[in-house]
Amino acid sequence: MTEPLSQPPERAEGDVNLSPRRQQWSQQHLDAATRAILDEDAELFIHQSLSTPCLNALQGSDGIYLEDTQGRKIMDFHGNSVHQVGHGHPRVIAAIKAQLDQLPFCPRRYTNQVAIDLARRLADLAPGDLDKMLFAPGGTSAIGMALKLARYATGRHKTISMWDSFHGASLDAISIGGEALFRKDVGPLLPGTEHIPPPTRGHCLFNCSDEAHSGCIEYLDYVLGMQGDVAALIAEPMRWTTVELPPPGYWNKVRELCDRHGVLLIFDEIPSALGRTGKMFVCEHFAVVPDMLVIGKGLGGGIFPMAALIVRRSLDIVGDRALGHYTHEKSSVGCAAALATLDCLVEERLIEASAELGAHALTRLEAMRERYPVIHEVRGLGLHFGIELRRDGKPASDEADTVLYHSLSQGLSYKVGAGCVLTLCPPMTISRAQLDTALDIVEAGIQSLD
């Protein structure tokens, strides 16, 4: 059995800024003017391992490209997963500009037609009976609303979530999250936030002997039954940072268990929804409808911070309390960006493109895996891929770091998850030729290891 993907604090949600290769890369690639910008940034912003001190400074972006202050174009396969329609899509920009002239802000006491139109559109798109919602200016805030609503709806406070997961960086979100980078040394977290191991395929902690992973399911049944007072189970239907899909049938069984134990099922599709996986929502791949669905990131067209909690109508039960109360709740500008984004996804057939280009890229990555023993596994759904590197069965973090900086030198940016998974998340507007160029760059980096 291979060693599980470990999550020491320095290697989790993304590649951290502590790698010695970063120093070397900066010396080789940055001019004095850029260094001055980075120094000023480092002087003013609080340092943290996933941003400041930053790698480089940008001056522009367009489509699949970022442009740094030295005028170099960088293919953005990272984009913090906000860039389904690419950077600065003209239709999204136009919608934002028009709304800035019309109604730049909407205080909470009032509503506006753009927000209503967006809610109607999301209710029509969302699976099953998910048709009531609240907007929020970020995914973490929407997760917080889901947790509160689950408490009100069930009269219980306990949650079950997965080790190694990420649901945002606030104190409530890191309590249900499972990454040491966010949880370690921070002190007491929310009570009743219990965790189970994720149902990963290749290295299941339960040593499940069957493809259906009955071991994990039996354990979850035991945990829910033994506790008897769990409000909600919250999970990403597809673990984004390490690109891990659950075993076939897993979510259907979890849905049954939740129903049997009276536990609400909350899916966090903040980075993964809106077509990227080849369907509008990830849960549609599994034909499972959660009780609450949380989306965000690309909802604002890669420009405006927008997120939504979408729930069953029967969960609209706290009219005399405050779930969200965020200042930018029904942002007319954000909602205009979101409507334009949904138009782009549908009218430019970007969801179909994700499925088609994704299948093409996965075939190429599979062929690469056969050529390079350091590639342990390639995974993907639609236009989101993970290339897991291992040496002698162990996570090959040093090799992943080498490949990343090699790619950055060639004008391709992406994230490394859990230290050894190269995660490729291109804009869905990418052409096949551009995708092939990026894969050539990744391959050259992997080749350079030998």
Ligand X SMILES: Cc1ncc(COP(=O)(O)O)c(C=O)c1O
For ligand X, the binding residues (CB under 6 A) are 138-140, 143, 166-168, 236, 240, 268, 270-271, 296-297, 307
Which two tokens mark 134?
């609240």
**198/445 with CB nearer ligand X:** 198
CB of 366 to ligand X, least distance (A): 26
199's CB contacts (< 8 A; 6+ apart) are 213, 216, 246, 247, 250
CB of 303 vs ligand X, minimal distance in Å: 13
- For ligand X, give the closer residue by CB, 268 or 388: 268
**Please, what is the minimum distance in Å from the beta carbon of residue 236 to ligand X?**
5
Q: Which is nearer to ligand X, 229 or 284 (CB)?
A: 284
- Distances in Å between the Cα of 110 and the Cα atoms of 123, 228, 248 are 21, 41, 45
Q: How far apart are CB 306 and ligand X at their closest, in Å?
A: 9
Whole-number minimum distance, CB 343 to ligand X, in Å?
22
Identity of the residue, 247 or 271, whose beta carbon is nearer to ligand X in the bound complex: 271
What φ, ψ does residue 203 adopt, rounded to 5°? -140, 55
- As measured in angstroms, the least distance from the Cβ of 425 to ligand X is 11
Burial string for 383-399 (b: 16+ CB within 10 Å, else e) reads: bbbbbbbbeeeebbbeb
Residue (143 or 308) nearer to ligand X, CB: 143
Edge-to-edge, what's the strand order for the sheet holding 412-413? 58-62, 65-68, 73-76, 412-413
User: Please, what is the angle between helix 90-102 and helix 332-347, to 10°?
Assistant: 150
Q: How far apart are CA 402 and CA 448, in angstroms?
A: 9
Pick between residue 237 and residue 445 the one whose CB is nearest to ligand X. Answer: 237
Residue whose Cβ sits closest to ligand X: 139
How far is 419 from 444, CA to CA, in rounded Å? 19
